[in-house]
Structure formats: C-alpha cells, structure tokens
Chain A
Amino acid sequence: MGNIRVFRAIGMLAMVCVGFTAAVRADETCNSPYIAKLIKGQEDYVYVWTLGVEGLGDASDKLVTVDVNPKSKTYGKVVHSVSTGARAEAHHMGFTDDRRHIWAGGLSENRIWVFDIATDPAKPKLVRTVGDLGDRSGYLGPHTYYALPGRMLVQTLSNTKDKGGVTGMVLYNNKGKHLANYAMPTEQGGDGYGYDLAVNPKKNVLLTSSFTGYTNYMRPLGELIKDGEAMKKFGSTMVVWDLKAIKPTKVLAVPGAPLEIRWSLNPKDNWAITAAALTSKLWLVRQDAKGEWIAKDVGAIGDPSKIPLPVDISITRDGKGLWVNTFMDGKTRYFDLSNPEAPKQTYEKVTGKQVNMISQSWDGKRVYITSSLLANWDKGGADNEQFLRGFAWDGKELTQKFEVDFTQEKLGRAHHMKLGSKALRSSAAGG
C-alpha cells in the first residue's frame, strides 16, 4: 500500500505541517476557495475538456492533457487523452476540494464523469460516472462544479420536464452520493435560470448567474437569434444566497444573461464581477452602505451594438485586472479593475477566429485560450478553429508560445481548462 510507505518515510523526516487555510482565495483559474492546493509556480499541464465531433477521431468527449511546462521535451504537445465513449456536449469541469478529482459533464445529458488526476497528474483516469442527477433532481445539463468541503455543488442549466431554463443546483458528496437539490428562485423577481456559481465564505454569500435552457443552447445559433420568442428565454438575474443554509436571500436584476462570476481574490475585497453575454456589459456585485447586496452596470465590453458576445472572464490574483474573451470577434481584452466601479479596457488582441475560455496562471504571466463555445454555436467553415493556445503576458503584450490544433489532432472542440502539476501527485486517490 503506497500510503503506508509514504507514512513510513515521513516518520523518518522532519515533518512540517502546512495547512492550506487562508481566508477567501480562489485558485489560479478562479475556482472554489475550498480547493486545497494552488499552483503558484509553473504549471505542468492544462487539462482540456473537449467535445467530441462526429467523424473526428473516436468522436467522443474526452479529457485531454497538454504539457505546458516550457522546460519539458513535450512542451505544447498532447501527452494524454482519456475518452468518455460518449458525445454529450462536454462543457465545464471542476476540482474536488482535495484536488484529487475532476468532475466534468455535458450539457445534453445528465452524466458526470469523475477523473482521478492525483495518481498520475499527466494521465487522468476515469474512475466513476455519476448518472442519477436527472432522476434525483429533475434538472438537466450540469454546468458548474463547485467544491465545498467534502461535497460538490453542481449548477445545472435546464430541466428534464420541458427542457427550458428553469433549473437548480444539486449537492453531492465527493463520492458521488446525492445529498440535496436547490431550486433557483422563481418568485420575487427570480426567473429560475442558472449558469455559474461562486462563493464568498467571509460574507456567507453564494452568488449565482443565469443563462438559458436546453431548447436554446442546443439549437443552432443562427436559427436561434432569428426566433424572437426564444431570445426572450435568457436569464436576466443573479441571486444572492445564504451560503451556510443555501437559501436565496435576494434576486438582483442583471439583464442579458450574466455568465461567469469572479469574486475578487484580494482578501480586503468583497465584490464580484460578471459579464452579461447578450448586452456585452460588465456588472459589479457588492454591498451598499447599508450592507445590502446590489448589482451595478459598470461598463461596456467592446461595442455592444455589434454583439461581441463576451464569454469567459479571468480575474487576476490581486483583483486589479480582468481578462475578457469575446466569442464573435475573437478578441481577448484586458480591463484595469483598479477601480471596479469603472473598469477600463487597456489592451485587446485578436487571439482566434472564435475564442471562448480563458485561464491564467497564478502569477498572471501565462494565459491559455480555447475556442469552442457550444457545438451548435461554434462558427463554420474556416472560422471553426479548434485550439488551445498558450500565451505569455508581460503586462503589455500577449505573445503566443504554442498552439495545439484540436482538429488536426482529431480531438474535437476545445472547451474548458484546468491546470495541473506533477507536484500534486498523491498516492491516496481512492476516488
């Protein structure tokens, strides 16, 4: 038993007890503050949750490991891929609180795939499938996987009844045992829609955002935007919840489908920021002088009349800067957040013909970008680039360092990313 050998060795060493215990802090790519271990140095891997494409490779969704350590002989190359054997609109993923496992899911089904990334960080292994989400909750399309101590809180996008946008959250323990469901509020201004979630334990606040349901996100984008009735079925709220009780306390009006939520990582701050996709606006969520949580429009992203479609955002560790990817124009924009009430764009660059997710290293010097939004929303023809691109950021310029062409490699559509490290190897990954 590897663990016993490890402990015997430990007994002969001077032991240092290091608790990962600071107050609110997210990891290098804006994860739960309960994630155990941050990668503060050079990451070794980027895990890319990839949508399968019919006729390409094995056509299945897969978790792809790309070596991103410049000192490695395989830098910028795919070193591993583990297929799910299914094509289920792979979308997002999240670490468990101990960072031993990744939970990853698709939006067209209710299966969640659990990968062990601790036994061999270079070669994630599929160890479990959680398949009871729909039966247990009536929800559909697991999206956000947010670690709580010993548990995973999953935000879904839709429901199994009418496949619309009224949905909720589902709580599991780390072994995949269902614990509870939480409906998104449909009263007092609530529209019932869901998208992302993020917590601020210092304030006992859970914040959620809202997108749209299966009938919209699985529909071809060109067709969808011509359907006026369907376009009304997008979220226009954020919800403030009591984190301890997981009960909604206030609905905030945030029109235009507010998506990713990022709390400032600065321990002195207690505000969050989001981007509304359809209106191309940045919104700040903070407490007012009376302690009431409010949402405030703090500025535009590009020219909203051109619908640049802001998608993923990534906040710097000091809360002073924000990367924003806009899908339609393929731009990566940097906003100075020194004054979060008035974000100021200071840089932009076209980083692809279509760009979606963006992640940065803890020190902010490396930025990773992928291309796919949704299978039916991605562009066609030559504009349908599918890639992971790695960039260096010196504070002034993004410089591309490598690219993995996911079509050429017969992998699929590159979507969500998480960072990995050899140093996070652990023999006690029981799953």
Chain B
Amino acid sequence: MNSPRRIQRASQAIALIAALACAPISSAHQDEPLAELDFIPPAPGTYTLHRIMAAPEGRVLGIDGRPQPLSRYTRGQITLLGFIYTTCIDPEGCPHAYRVFDALKEAIVATPSLHGEVRFVTLSFDPARDSPDVMRRYAGSRVLETDGRLRWYFLTTRSARELMPLVEGFGQDIRITFDRSGARPRRELSHVLKVFLIDRTGDVREIYTSTFLYPRLVLNDIETLLMEDRAAHRKK
C-alpha cells in the first residue's frame, strides 16, 4: 500500500502537471499551450504497464562527443526517451514532445519524491547533421545539472550504421517519402512521434504517440513504475 505522504506527493505532482498543461510552456519551439486531457485517467498503480520489449543496445555520443553504450542511459533509473531531429518543424512532432518533456521536467523538479528517480533522453535521428556540438546547442540550458533532481541527456550517434539498430530496436519507423506536389519531387523524411517509457531494468513499459502524450499520463505511469518498484522491494 502507498503511504499517505507518497500519495500526497504524487497528487501534488499531478496537480502541478495539470496546471502546467493549462499554461503556456516557455519554450523555444512552441508557445501554444499543451492540450488538456478530456478524460479522467486511471490512478497510478491501478493498471499494468506491460514489458513491451527490451530497449535495444548500441553506441551513442553524448554532447561531449564520447561514445557510450545506450544502456548507460536506459538502466538504473526510469527513463523517458524520445527521438528528434534538431531541424524538425512539424508542430505535432518533435517540438510537441519537447514541450511535454519541458512540462514534465518542471513537475519532477518540483516533486522531491521523484528526484533522482527519472532521467530524460533525447536521441537524434540525424547523425549527419546532429553532431554532439549541434545537440549541445539544441539542448541549451536543459542539459545542465539540476542538483540530482533530474538529468536530461542529449545524445546522437556517429553514423547511420550505429543509429539503425537503435531505430529498429525501438520500432521507431522512419520512412522516405516523395512530395510530388511541386515542380520537382522532394524527398521527405517522415516518422511517427513516439516517446518510450523505460523501467530501471531497461524494458520499454509504455510507448506514447501524440494521441496519448500528455504530461499527466506520463507522470501517472512513472508513479506506477515506482509503486511497482516499492512492492518488489517489500517482497525481498
């Protein structure tokens, strides 16, 4: 069972998320407020997050340019991972995910019970353009330490060869399409917005698309995983 204090903290975080969702998020990408939930979501711990698949392994580059195994960023803490391109312009795509991450960051930083429990990972699809330096500039102040409350990692890969196992492993579809509406066919790189919630053991437990990427739902899921951890700890 959950202690009243934990439930209270979770409730505070959820209340904060609700407030953030209704308020414009200060972001370099978008100024529009995030959509509000049009339903009452199930309470944390009242549903099961299945082990959908293991997060894939591969090599990534941090903003310092040093290669690391991706598992360094997907194990030991609850991880929220999203793929982006720094040149992405679709408001319903990468910038939307970024705004949700920003809203979640504020809520987590303001909720002591979540400090040190969660990390964010933003991984580029575009190794040709998104070098570690580009990712550093893209991250701006978000990459700074937050006194152990929340770390947000901005990663890229050295090459398509190193990226593809990650893309494939997550089931993150990327497709080349041709826009033939203009005088010359234009190649486009299309993808479905997906954000992955990964537990401490490296298993993907939820996949959010834009239709279900609400800060409140993500926070509920994080709390559900924490409750699962606590229950497992009590059994030991």
Contacts and interface: CB of A to CB of B under 8 A. Distances in A.
Contact of B129 (A11, A97, A205): A11
Contact of B38 (A98, A99, A203): A203
Contact of B173 (A11, A17, A242, A426): A426
Given A10-B189, A18-B191, A247-B47, A150 B52 contact: yes
Interface string A197-224: 0000111110000000000000000000
B209 A203 contact: no
A17 B88 contact: yes
A250 to B, nearest CB: 14
Nearest to A11: B128
Interface stretch (A48-56, A174-182, A346-354): A174-182
A10 B187 contact: yes
Given A174-B171, A428-B168, A21 B47 contact: no
Given A15-B126, A149-B208, A203-B39, A98 B171 contact: yes
B52 A19 contact: no
Contacts of B168: 3, 428, 430
A17 B211 contact: no
Contacts of B204: 150
A244 B188 contact: no
Contacts, number: 165
Contact of B41 (A14, A204, A428): A204
A18 B41 contact: no
A289 interface: no
A391 interface: no
Given A18-B177, A36-B173, A3 B191 contact: no
B47 A23 contact: no
A24 B204 CA distance: 24
A149 B88 contact: no
Nearest to A99: B173
Contacts of A13: 187
A19 B192 contact: yes
A22 B92 CA distance: 7
Contacts of A97: 173, 192, 209
Contact of B207 (A10, A99, A149, A244): A149
A17 B188 CA distance: 7
Contacts of A99: 173
A269 to B, nearest CB: 13
Given A10-B128, A23-B210, A17 B52 contact: no
Contacts of B48: 180, 245
A7 B177 contact: no
A37 interface: yes
A19 B128 contact: no
Interface in B146-183: 159-161, 163-164, 167-168, 171, 173-178
Contacts of B163: 7
Nearest to B97: A19
Q: Tell me what chain B mostly uses at the interface: helix, strand, loop, or mixed.
A: loop
A244 B192 contact: no
A245 B47 contact: yes
B207 A17 contact: no
Contact of B209 (A14, A21, A424): A21
Contact of B177 (A19, A247, A423): A423
A232 B96 CA distance: 51
B132 interface: no
B87 A17 contact: yes
B155 to A, nearest CB: 17
B235 to A, nearest CB: 21
B136 to A, nearest CB: 20
Given A21-B93, A428-B174, A179 B189 contact: no
Contacts of B85: 15, 17
A151 B207 CA distance: 9
Interface string B43-67: 0001110111100000000000000
Given A202-B38, A245-B47, A19 B87 contact: no
Given A1-B164, A17-B89, A34-B209, A245 B46 contact: yes
Given A11-B129, A151-B52, A16 B89 contact: yes
A84 B189 CA distance: 34
Given A150-B207, A204-B39, A100 B126 contact: no
Contacts of A428: 164, 167-168, 173-174
A226 interface: no
A244 B99 CA distance: 22
B38 A244 contact: no
B188 A16 contact: yes
18 contacts: A3-B168, A7-B160, A7-B163, A14-B186, A15-B188, A16-B188, A17-B88, A19-B94, A19-B210, A20-B190, A36-B173, A97-B209, A150-B171, A175-B53, A179-B52, A245-B42, A245-B47, A430-B168
Given A150-B171, A244-B212, 12 more contacts: A4-B160, A10-B189, A11-B160, A15-B129, A18-B188, A19-B93, A19-B191, A36-B175, A150-B194, A179-B50, A201-B212, A426-B176
Interface of B: 38-39, 41-42, 46-48, 50-53, 85, 87-90, 92-94, 96, 126-129, 159-161, 163-164, 167-168, 171, 173-178, 186-194, 204, 207-212, 217
Going nearest first, the 4 A-B pairs with the smallest beta carbon separation are: A19-B93, A11-B128, A7-B160, A17-B88
